Amino acid sequence: MKNKHLVLLFILTVIIGLALRNAPWRDTDYFQKKLLKADSTDIVRLQFSGLTLIRTETGFVAEQNNRSTRVPSSEMTPILAALNDLTSIRIVQTQQPDTCWLNNKQGIAVVVFYGSHKTEGIILGKEILEQGRPATYLSLSNNKGVYLVENALRGIFSKSLDDFRKSALVKYHTFDAYSFTIETAKADTLSATYSKESSRWQLDNSHRSISNDSVMVWLKKMEKLPQLPFADLFDETHEGKQLYARIRLDMNCQPDPLWVYIYRLHTPSLPEELPDLKPNDPRLAPYALYFSPYPTNYHALSDTTFLRQICQPF
């Protein structure tokens, strides 16, 4: 009986081996595999599309062309999720990766830096539909293979600094303001505090007052300032000589005052080598301003009438 069992076991082993060898899935290139082994919480820096994202104690900060801004968590979440869930559908058997846009011209290069000083290079290629679902061709610097991964990824990693700056700019409600100060180089300083008793704004060191409606109109105009285009050609090293006015707003919703600095641009304020610009390019506007929470994000202001309404409203 013992020998018979051994013979049966041998025959069964041979049958299973032949079945596995000739199974239809043996030569398939379909599989599900997480390509990045490290978790997104280990990422300390990302680089893509000329943009650098750096993790800080308070969140990520985006940098590009000597400008920076914080990245709202709502903007950072899909980026980290895309890397954390980078799952391969199948290996792509190709000798021509250019057809998948995996080259320097069409591909999007993403470099991931981890806290352990490890780096991972990724090239995102062409997006297609795989069985009716979006997918993206991808290659890894530490792996010579070409993969098709889940989801459309190019849009997530085709961002510039402006995509984050607009969503990170300060927002406030006019009814939160209770005090303001306007300082200009060629006029007296104007300061006022809201009086609940009279529903008017009392000027400091004066018996004069300003109606609440007038101040609300001015504050509504102040809210339009963050919507101005960015003045990325302004050279901040000249800001000490170019200050035109500054405005302080004290608000109930935040402990620190909000400062708005306005600069008058002269020729020395611009870089020596200018890119090709049209005469009406907003970056050549005569005035630049910024909000104190974001001192490297300058805005361009060319409307002198609007400027007077901001700096000399009453």
More confident residue, 106 or 277: 106
Residues 14-69 pLDDT 10s: 565 555 444 433 334 445 577 887 788 899 999 999 999 999 998 999 999 878 88
pTM of this structure: 0.65
Residues 222-233 pLDDT 10s: 988 888 888 877
Percentage of residues in the chain having pLDDT higher than 70? 81
Q: Which residue has the tokens 């069964």?
A: 12
Strand order in the sheet with 200-203: 209-211, 200-203, 187-195, 177-184, 243-251, 258-264, 287-291, 299-301
d(CA 105, CA 142): 20
C-beta of residue 91 within 8 angstroms of C-beta of residue 29: yes
